[in-house]
Every structure is written in structure tokens, then in C-alpha cells.
Amino acid sequence: MNLNISGHHVDVTHPMREYVMTKLKRLERHFDHLISAEVILSIDKLSQRAEATVHACGANLHAAAIEEDMYAAIDLMADKLDQQTRRHKEKVRDHRQKEAHKRMALE
């Protein structure tokens, strides 16, 4: 999976980059067909925002989170993306199973 991490009004440090990479590696254990991910970390006055768009085979998944701590925002964003990838995987798997059952019924 190609990963692009950028910052808006924040310098993305090496530990932040590593933290995002480890959190997004979790997504690959649920769904193998992830193409790329774009993560934007930004700071407004008192809020830290983390948002990501993941391009998967058949869908684009987007999640955003706002917290007082950047690492907490990254955690929340990763949890949201984790749920979305599980739902997408279930949808793809159910669709394929329905098609297989239809083919079996026709034979």
C-alpha cells in the first residue's frame, strides 16, 4: 500500500510518521486489496485533526477525527477506518457468495 502523509500547520516528525504507519498496517490484516492511503495531519488553535482517505479495490474510504492530542486523533481515525474496511470486506464477500449460490442454482 502506498502511503502519503502530509501536515498542515504541523511538521510531521519521524515518530508521528511511524505511528501512522503502524496504525494503518492494521487495515491490511482485514483487507488485502488496499491500493493507497493519503493522511493529512493538521493543527487548528486547540484541536488536532487527523484525516485519511484509503483507496481500496472497489471503494474509497474516508475518516476524520478531532482530538486535543494528535496521537489520540490518529487512534480514533484508524479505528474508524478499521470499521469501514471490515464492513467493505463483508460486503464484498457476501456479494461473491450470493453470486456463487446463484450459479449453483442454475446448474
Confidence check: pLDDT of 99 > 70: no
Residue 71 has pLDDT above 70, yes or no: yes
**Complete DSSP assignment for 19-73:** HHHHHHHHHHHH-S-EEEEEEEEEE-SS-EEEEEEEEETTEEEEEEEEESSHHHH
- Residue 34: per-residue pLDDT: 82
pLDDT for the residue 106: 62
What per-residue confidence (pLDDT) applies to 90?
Answer: 85
What pLDDT is recorded for position 96? Answer: 61
pTM, rounded to two decimals: 0.82
Q: What domains does the chain contain, in order, with CATH numbers?
A: 2-106 (3.30.160.100)
pLDDT band at 50 (very low <50, low <70, confident <90, very high): very high
